[in-house]
């Protein structure tokens, strides 16, 4: 590695120890081994950054190997997408390889296994095999076909290869140990019959190797020195090593499998199966939908390779699975775009502003800075005229004292332009504001250096000249799921947490400098956030995707919901001290309103779990959550927990807590659960 001192993560420590123990630096080789059965997601991006980053640090080659052993799910489309994503992230592989390159060698080795009595053809059904395999606490028993003769096994295996049998009739199993405490070592499957067309080998094969058999042997054939996998493969390491033991030549490099923790991202899913479900069921518009956690989706939304690589480096490598808040990823893209994105003006919810004392027909081209964070970004010209659009929320006819935008009798500055003062409004037949009339201070032009231009006002608004404005479709994306961990709740389908407001499309207006904006060009819409040009954009119809806001709106929302929970618990304390039914009713209504503000299922669930104890305040709170929230119900908890809850409520010292069990909603839910309905 670089001579510059740095703190090594445990993966780097493993490599350093191997080098100290005699492994030659020129024998180092890494790989990124995706299965081409879907698009890469943010978890893969972290693995890519790890493996290719090691290649860069150690000046070692990194293979891109497609583990294409399941033709039922794999497609050339996914191969192409994976290659495109890896290159977009800024990495280049040494060799492009495929597990299918080794099908003949794997088959030949399997034949040798049979000849040495280390593999056999099993003809049980999948149900019979599951029964004889045992459980983690009970030993397995031998298959009735385990002691078939070598000749019979060779004959059956060749006929399997030749396509003489239907799928599911036979498999090839390694002969290891049916009593092993590691279930994976109980005669694992090496080959199954699949009459499926393969995206590379066509119909040449009717049998395909299992991942555990192909993976380690592919590493060995490629002379990969270190095979890094996520933690779910830790139990597989024993099998990985056993397979290598059977074919290893000590004159060659022996691959070493080691595991690191999966980095899950909040408010999304990173299972390819679940991502495919979102695509197939039309919850999103394809694998590259900007709400998806796929690399393609993030790219289309406006994320940059730098931001994703920085995210991977920031969260690092760990030994335990962890949930990374999506705000960390959002921080990385804000930080990157703040340095690189040009500032422009756009209005997404327009209301017409007429500057009544500005000459009709006059226009000015004012100077605007492109990016104050980049001294080389320069300036551009923006047109100004008598009529402009401003954001509707930037005006209130009757504004409170702390409203720092435009109102009647109040002054604000129009960005890069003049100071204006609200004078009056024009309303439509329904009473909605159709126009705002204002006057401007002719001597207050921004940057002119006049005394008037230096005058302090309460706020600065962005705007677009109506005569020059370009209409644009703006897609306002939000988090795809309302819950931070949508696929971790055993009692609920992850699709129940799909955010109905994850996409809103509006027609906005942008300044004319954006007429020539191209796909994936990125901008900061001043005061609104960062936006990127979508691939659907054309010269006649601009389309922008919201990448991220200037601030984390979800952090503020989360704090409000946590405060609602905490305030409810504080208020319930008073419930047991007041003396009248009216006072108690008022307290319950206050708590009910707070509970109804909370939309985060995980927060509600954890709040209930924390408050199932003998404390009367806690028990009353948990019962009120069920009573007043439409986001959670008793069936979202396991029966043992609910029985404990019911028992504690029933035996509570407080009659108010016991009375909650008479509440019709709670009583019915408890009854249904107790009956297993």
Determine the Cα–Cα distance for residues 381 and 385; give it in Å rounded to an integer: 13
Given the residues 133, 237, 272, 616, the one annotated as active site:
272
Determine the Cα–Cα distance for residues 450 and 443; give it in Å rounded to an integer: 7
148 in catalytic set: no
Residue 67, annotated as binding a ligand: yes
Residue 613: helix, strand or coil by DSSP? coil
φ/ψ of residue 673, rounded to 5? -70, -40
Q: Are the C-beta atoms of 41 and 31 separated by less than 8 Å?
A: no
Residue 373, annotated as binding a ligand: no
What six digits make up the tokens of 219?
């590493």
Other Cβ atoms less than 10 A from the Cβ of 96: the count is: 12
Residue 602, classified by CB atoms within 10 Å of its CB into exposed (0-12), middle (13-18) or buried (19+), is middle
Q: Considering only CA atoms, which of 356, 415, 370, 409 is closest in space to residue 391? A: 415
Residue 271, annotated as binding a ligand: yes
What six digits make up the tokens of 158?
């060749």
* Beta strand 322-324 pairing with 263-265: parallel
Q: Are the C-beta atoms of 223 and 253 separated by less than 8 Å?
A: yes
The CA-to-CA distance between both ends of the chain, in Å, stands at: 61
Q: Considering only CA atoms, which of 228, 205, 251, 10 is closest in space to residue 102? A: 205
574 in catalytic set: no
Residue 429: helix, strand or coil by DSSP? coil
Run of H or E residues at 442: none
* Beta strand 363-369 pairing with 379-385: antiparallel
Given the residues 12, 27, 35, 363, the one annotated as active site:
35
How large is the angle between the packed helices 103-115 and 150-161, nearest 10 degrees? 160
Residue 532, annotated as binding a ligand: no
455 in catalytic set: no
Given the residues 133, 262, 309, 522, the one annotated as active site:
262
Determine the Cα–Cα distance for residues 248 and 254; give it in Å rounded to an integer: 7
Determine the Cα–Cα distance for residues 312 and 42; give it in Å rounded to an integer: 9
Residue 269, annotated as binding a ligand: no
| Residue 227, C-beta contacts closer than 8 angstroms, at least 6 positions apart | 31, 215, 216, 219, 240, 255, 256, 257, 258
- Using H for helix, E for strand and C for coil, what is the string for 333-390? HHHHHHHHCEEECEECCEEEEEECCCCCCCEEEEEEECCCCCCCCCEEEEEEECEEEE
How many angstroms separate the Cα of 5 from the Cα of each of 1, 2, 8, 23, 112?
10, 8, 9, 22, 49
Residue 672: helix, strand or coil by DSSP? helix
Residue 61, annotated as binding a ligand: no
Residue 255, annotated as binding a ligand: no
- The DSSP call for residue 37 is S
Other Cβ atoms less than 10 A from the Cβ of 232: the count is: 10
Q: Are the C-beta atoms of 343 and 370 separated by less than 8 Å?
A: yes
Determine the Cα–Cα distance for residues 621 and 618; give it in Å rounded to an integer: 5
What six digits make up the tokens of 496?
């129940």
Q: Which residues are catalytic?
A: 35, 262, 272
Q: Which residues are annotated as a binding site?
A: 35-37, 67, 211, 230, 270-272
Q: Which residues are annotated as a binding site for ATP?
A: 35-37, 230, 270-272
Q: Which residues are annotated as a binding site for L-glutamine?
A: 67, 211
């Amino acid at each position: 590695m670089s001579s510059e001192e740095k703190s090594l993560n445990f993966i780097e420590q493993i490599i350093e120890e191997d080098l100290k123990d005699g492994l030659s630096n020129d024998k180092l080789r890494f790989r990124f081994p995706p299965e081409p059965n879907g698009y890469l997601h943010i978890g893969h991006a972290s693995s890519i950054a790890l493996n290719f980053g090691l290649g860069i640090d150690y000046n070692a080659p990194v293979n891109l190997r497609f583990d294409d052993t399941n033709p039922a799910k794999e497609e050339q489309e996914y191969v192409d997408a994976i290659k495109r994503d890896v290159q977009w992230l800024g990495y280049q592989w040494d060799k492009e390889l495929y597990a299918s390159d080794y099908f003949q060698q794997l088959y030949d080795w399997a034949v040798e296994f049979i000849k040495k009595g280390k593999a056999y053809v099993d003809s049980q059904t999948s149900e019979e095999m599951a029964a004889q395999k045992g459980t983690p606490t009970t030993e397995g028993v031998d298959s009735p076909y385990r002691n078939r003769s070598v000749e019979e096994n060779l004959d059956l295996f060749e006929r399997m290869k030749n396509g003489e049998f239907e799928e599911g009739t036979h498999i090839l199993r390694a002969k290891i140990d049916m009593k092993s405490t590691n279930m994976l070592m109980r005669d694992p499957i090496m080959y199954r019959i699949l009459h499926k067309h393969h995206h590379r080998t066509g119909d040449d094969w009717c049998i395909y190797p299992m991942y555990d058999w192909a993976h380690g042997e592919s590493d060995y054939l490629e002379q990969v020195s270190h095979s890094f996998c996520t933690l779910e493969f830790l139990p597989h390491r024993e099998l990985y090593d056993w397979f290598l033991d059977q074919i290893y030549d000590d004159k060659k490099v022996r691959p070493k499998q080691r595991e690191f923790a999966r980095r899950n991202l909040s408010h999304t899913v990173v299972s390819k199966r679940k991502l495919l479900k979102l695509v197939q069921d039309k919850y999103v518009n394809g694998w590259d939908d900007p709400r998806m956690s796929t690399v393609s989706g993030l790219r289309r939304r406006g994320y940059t390779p730098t931001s994703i690589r920085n995210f991977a480096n920031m969260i690092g490598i760990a030994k335990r699975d962890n949930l990374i808040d999506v705000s960390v990823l959002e921080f990385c893209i804000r930080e990157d775009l703040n340095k690189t994105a040009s500032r422009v003006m756009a209005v997404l919810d327009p209301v017409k502003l007429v500057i009544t004392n500005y000459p009709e027909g006059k226009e000015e081209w004012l100077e605007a800075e492109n990016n104050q964070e980049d001294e080389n970004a320069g300036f551009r010209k923006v047109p100004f005229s008598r009529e402009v659009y401003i954001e509707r929320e930037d005006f209130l006819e009757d504004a409170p004292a702390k409203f720092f935008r435009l109102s009647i009798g109040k002054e604000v500055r129009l960005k890069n332009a003049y100071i204006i003062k609200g004078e009056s409004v024009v309303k439509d037949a329904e009473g909605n504001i159709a126009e705002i009339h204002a006057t401007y201070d002719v001597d207050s032009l921004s940057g002119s250096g006049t005394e008037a231009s230096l005058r302090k006002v309460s706020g600065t608004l962005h705007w677009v000249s109506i005569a020059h404005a370009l209409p644009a479709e703006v897609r306002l994306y939000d988090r795809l799921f309302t819950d931070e961990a949508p696929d971790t709740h055993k009692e609920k389908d992850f699709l129940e947490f799909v955010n109905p407001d994850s996409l809103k499309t509006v027609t906005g207006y942008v300044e004319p400098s954006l007429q020539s904006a191209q796909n994936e060009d990125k901008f900061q819409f001043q005061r609104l956030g960062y936006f990127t040009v979508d691939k659907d954009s054309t010269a006649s119809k601009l389309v922008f995707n919201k990448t991220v806001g200037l601030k984390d709106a979800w952090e503020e929302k989360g704090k409000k919901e946590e405060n609602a929970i905490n305030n409810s618990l504080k208020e319930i304390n008073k419930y047991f001290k007041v003396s009248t039914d009216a006072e108690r009713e008022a307290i319950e209504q206050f708590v009910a309103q707070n509970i109804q503000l909370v939309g985060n299922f995980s927060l509600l669930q954890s709040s209930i779990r924390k408050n199932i104890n003998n404390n009367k305040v806690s028990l009353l709170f948990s019962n009120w959550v069920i009573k007043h929230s439409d986001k959670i119900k008793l069936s979202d908890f396991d029966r043992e927990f609910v029985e404990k809850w019911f028992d504690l409520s029933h035996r509570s010292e407080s009659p108010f807590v016991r009375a909650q069990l008479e509440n019709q909603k709670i009583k019915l839910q408890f009854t249904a659960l107790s009956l297993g309905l």
